[in-house]
Amino acid sequence: MTPDQEWWTPAELASACLPDLPSTRQGIDAVIAREGWRRQPDLARKRAGRGGGWEYHWTLLPSRARKALLVHAAEAAPKPKRGAKANVDRDALWARYDALPAKAKAKAAQRLAIIQMVEALVRGGATKVVAAYEVGRDHGVSPRSIFTWLGMVEGARIDDRMPLLAPRYDTAARAAAIVTAECSPEWWDALKADYLRLEQPSFTSCYRRSARLASRHGWAVLNERTARRRLDTEVSASTRTLARKGVAALKERLPSQTRDKTTLHAMEAVNADFHKWDVWVLWPGQDKPVRPQMVAWQDIYSGRVLAWRLALTPNKEDVALSFGEMVASFGIPDHVVFDNGREFANKFLTGQATHRHRFRALPTDIPGLLKQLGCEEHFATPYSGQSKPIERAFRDMCDAIARDPRFVGAWTGNRPDAKPENYQSVAVPFERFCAVIGEGIEEHNSRTGRRSEVASGRSFIEAFEASYATAPIRKATEAQRRLWLMGAEGIKADARTGLIRFQGNEYWAPWMADLAGKRVVVRFDPADLWAGVHLYGLNGAFLGHGPCKAKTGFFDLDGAKAQAKARAAFVRAEREALKAANRMKVTELSALLDAAAQDGGEARPAPQSKIVRPAFKLPRTATPEARPDPSLDQAQAALVADFARAREARAQSLGTSRPPRDSDLSRFAHALKIKQRLEAGQPVPRDQEHWLSTYQQQPEYRALARLHEDFGEAMFGQDGG
């Protein structure tokens, strides 16, 4: 018998020699019949297995026999040494418990509750054997299991019992078994090379292709589910994202950097960007409706839009003019944030700035507008909305302004596949569009109930003005205002007169004779070049005003560092992980698939139809006989005659050291002669052999070679050349 045996046959009870029970099979059968054990369906059952018969639950036995079984079970239970759990690593023990699933933790709690019940009965005077039997009967647990759990926690601290009673799921061993499952390395590399690519094929299709290769090359494979689990174990989710979706998707797996705006004050930092409106507008001077662009400047601290300007396309002139409007109204910011688009990262605005990554940096570059105003430029990541807070304002305007009722029929939809049914049925006049935009931006700034950490229920204007009243703001002087209202170009004055030629106009004053041959900086009003230009030296000193002398042309020019390093390191590490995981190149996999396709494998028999359709007698139709076309013979004869006339006009000798150049037939005949000498093993000059190899790659040779295959020497005339 076993210590935790619950069901007993008559033969087993006889051989166990239990108290108050006979030791023979006949005696046990008599007790069973006298006590009516078989009339208790929950405690008597037919034995499943070979031989059949009946078996009975141990609770039917006399009390002394049951006690003897419990004592035997307690003696057979493992008894760990006292103090065995004293030196256990409690941090590792609880770490293992914390990593278990909720189901395993619930089992540990249930076992602890059962143990505590047993201990409570023992403290009340019951023996441990009886207590284990009573608690086990109530909870459907065998006494043997209870004694096992008691042994697991013996000698341990009371507060460490829970992790000791938890089931021991060896997840690490399971993962190792999946990773080290038997398969051919070649098949595994082929599967990963197929799956880890930007076309994002499904795992099932990749598995089928690799299985076909495995059957051809005799590779050992895993089943599909095991292969998928092994791939998920070997190749991290980030590496799979890089391989199948690219760097942009990989960067999205990193959380955005959270910046605290409360450490700033009003006008300490601003950001700007262009936004393309989803509205069709009748722009002055344009034949068709257009979708205008808007450059806007926003205070990062409060979120208030400080200045904006409309344009047909993003350009530096509108950026400079809108920046000037902001500075004239509110002051000079200390920090400016925008991306490195050409409209922002140009030399006029950000000349001599570092990390511009736009236009070639030259020693003669003049300081940009922001540099001269003492603003520090910060180039945010392009197409990264979280890098520029103004993107959030643009998203708000797309709903509150672009879908204004006054734009009904002119709204384009916010996606190519979301065009409204009345798409482009109306175009808004430019003046009306400007009025609605100004009204909408004012409402955007003055709307209360903002939930940002700075506004706290106030409007953007209220948050801005509260900080602006106490913040140190730098104001622009009259001389500084010329910096953003004028463009800047390094131009060389006429070497004789000092005349400045710029945008088709000529500028000159008597004092400019001293500038002859010198390079100067020209600042001008982009909307009115005839008003003259302001001239500065390369050192930034103001020289004077140059009036327009010849109005021959008119031109309107209005037409987070640590986070970046972390992202770059993250992408670099995943690239290395992908390189290590994907050892087989896709080109090698393609070659294997091509070879398998050419080999073909076993020919599969063509499917046979199981139904024979009756064929009825059909009227026979006569098949027309093929007759020769006389026009083809005439065309061929004419072509041969043309070849004969061309032969008469070709150059005389083909054996000279230089190939003939008089006609295409002469060159082709010369090539045939050299080719025949090479095939016959006769000596041919090196330059002639080189000429032949080059000539054979030309379309002329290939065309004449096809004619020669069809007509032979007849193409050269009657004597064959």
The CA distance from 449 to 513, in Å, is: 63
The CA distance from 434 to 431, in Å, is: 5
Residue type, 177: A
- What integer is the mean pLDDT of 413-440? 90
- What integer is the mean pLDDT of 185-199? 92
- What integer is the mean pLDDT of 358-371? 73
Residue 176 has what pLDDT? 52
DSSP track, 287-342: SS-B--EEEEEEETTT--EEEEEEESS--HHHHHHHHHHHHHHH-B-SEEEE---T
Q: What confidence tier does 489 reach under pLDDT thresholds 50, 70, 90?
A: low
pLDDT digits (tens, 9 = 90+) for 588-611: 777 777 777 676 555 555 554 444
pTM of the model: 0.48
Are 55 and 9 a contacting pair, CB within 8 Å? yes
pLDDT at 446 over 60: yes
Q: Token digits for 38?
A: 């078989």
pLDDT at 159 over 90: no
Are 704 and 668 a contacting pair, CB within 8 Å? yes
Residue 647 has what pLDDT? 52
Residue 90 has what pLDDT? 80
Residue 467 has what pLDDT? 93
CA within 13 Å, CB half, 620: 2
**Contacts of 138 by beta carbon, 8 Å cutoff, 6+ apart:** none
Q: Worst-scoring range by mean pLDDT, 35-39, 232-236, 349-353, 678-682?
A: 349-353
Residue 401 has what pLDDT? 93
Highest mean pLDDT: which range of 14-18, 262-266, 437-441, 509-513: 437-441
DSSP track, 479-545: HHHHHHHSEEEEEEPPTTT--EEETTEEE--GGGGGGTT-EEEEEE-TT-GGG-EEEE-TTS-EEEE
Query: What are residue 310's DSSP bridge partners?
Result: 294
Nearest to 542 by CA among 487, 482, 474: 482
Highest mean pLDDT: which range of 129-143, 359-373, 531-545, 652-666: 129-143
What Rg value do the Cα atoms of the chain yield, rounded? 47
Backbone angles phi, psi at 554, to 5 degrees: -135, 135
Residue 663 CA: distances (Å) to CA of 648, 669, 670, 712: 11, 10, 11, 18
**Contacts of 303 by beta carbon, 8 Å cutoff, 6+ apart:** 389, 393, 450, 452, 454, 455, 460, 463
- What integer is the mean pLDDT of 498-503? 88
Q: What confidence tier does 316 reach under pLDDT thresholds 50, 70, 90?
A: confident
More confident residue, 14 or 623: 14
* Cα torsion 19, 23, 25, 31: sign: negative
Q: Beta strand pairing status for 293-299 and 305-311? A: antiparallel
The CA distance from 650 to 663, in Å, is: 6
Q: What confidence tier does 37 reach under pLDDT thresholds 50, 70, 90?
A: confident
Q: What confidence tier does 534 reach under pLDDT thresholds 50, 70, 90?
A: confident
b/e per residue, 404-417, with b = 16+ CB within 10 A? beebeebbbeeeee
CATH code of the domain made up of 261-336+382-468: 3.30.420.10
Q: Helix, strand, coil % (nearest 5) of the chain?
A: 50, 10, 40
- What integer is the mean pLDDT of 549-557? 53
Are 193 and 173 a contacting pair, CB within 8 Å? no
Provide the angle, in degrees to the nearest 10, between the axes of the packed helices 664-679 and 686-695. 120
Backbone angles phi, psi at 707, to 5 degrees: -65, -35
Highest mean pLDDT: which range of 177-186, 465-474, 679-688: 465-474
The CA distance from 711 to 700, in Å, is: 16
pLDDT digits (tens, 9 = 90+) for 454-475: 998 999 999 999 999 999 888 8
| Chosen CATH of 7-65 out of 2.60.120.260, 3.90.1150.10, 1.10.10.10, 3.40.50.300 | 1.10.10.10
**Contacts of 189 by beta carbon, 8 Å cutoff, 6+ apart:** 582, 583, 584
Residue 651 has what pLDDT? 38
Query: What are residue 378's DSSP bridge partners?
Result: 337
| Chosen CATH of 170-256+560-597 out of 3.40.50.300, 3.30.230.10, 1.10.10.60, 1.10.3720.10 | 1.10.10.60
Residue 622 has what pLDDT? 46
Torsion region of 591: left, alpha or beta (phi above 0 gives left; psi -120 to 50 gives alpha): alpha
Nearest to 261 by CA among 460, 444, 396: 460
Residue 573 has what pLDDT? 79
Alpha-carbon dihedral 431, 433, 435, 438, rounded to 10 degrees = -140
- What integer is the mean pLDDT of 544-571? 63
Residue 83 has what pLDDT? 44
Q: Token digits for 170?
A: 């060896």
Q: Helix H segments across 10-160?
A: 10-16, 25-35, 63-76, 90-98, 102-123, 128-139, 143-153
Q: What confidence tier does 618 reach under pLDDT thresholds 50, 70, 90?
A: very low
Q: What confidence tier does 720 reach under pLDDT thresholds 50, 70, 90?
A: very low
- Please state the length of the chain: 721
Superfamily of domain 90-169: Homeodomain-like (1.10.10.60)
- What integer is the mean pLDDT of 408-415? 88
Residue 109 has what pLDDT? 92
Nearest to 361 by CA among 346, 377, 343, 382: 346
More confident residue, 720 or 66: 66
pLDDT at 706 over 80: yes
Are 257 and 569 a contacting pair, CB within 8 Å? no
Are 284 and 310 a contacting pair, CB within 8 Å? no
pLDDT digits (tens, 9 = 90+) for 120-156: 988 888 888 888 888 988 888 888 889 889 888 888 8
Backbone angles phi, psi at 460, to 5 degrees: -65, -40
| Chosen CATH of 486-550 out of 3.40.309.10, 3.90.1150.10, 2.50.20.20, 2.30.30.130 | 2.30.30.130
- What integer is the mean pLDDT of 177-181? 54
Going by the DSSP 8-state scheme, the letter that residue 253 receives in this structure is: T
Residue type, 522: V
pLDDT at 558 over 70: no
Going by the DSSP 8-state scheme, the letter that residue 279 receives in this structure is: B
Q: What confidence tier does 331 reach under pLDDT thresholds 50, 70, 90?
A: very high
The CA distance from 411 to 403, in Å, is: 7
Query: What are residue 489's DSSP bridge partners?
Result: 522
Domain ranges of the chain: 7-65, 90-169, 170-256+560-597, 261-336+382-468, 486-550, 633-716
Are 360 and 379 a contacting pair, CB within 8 Å? no
pLDDT at 619 over 70: no
pLDDT at 537 over 80: yes
pLDDT digits (tens, 9 = 90+) for 340-354: 788 888 877 877 766
Question: 486-550: same fold as 7-65?
Answer: no
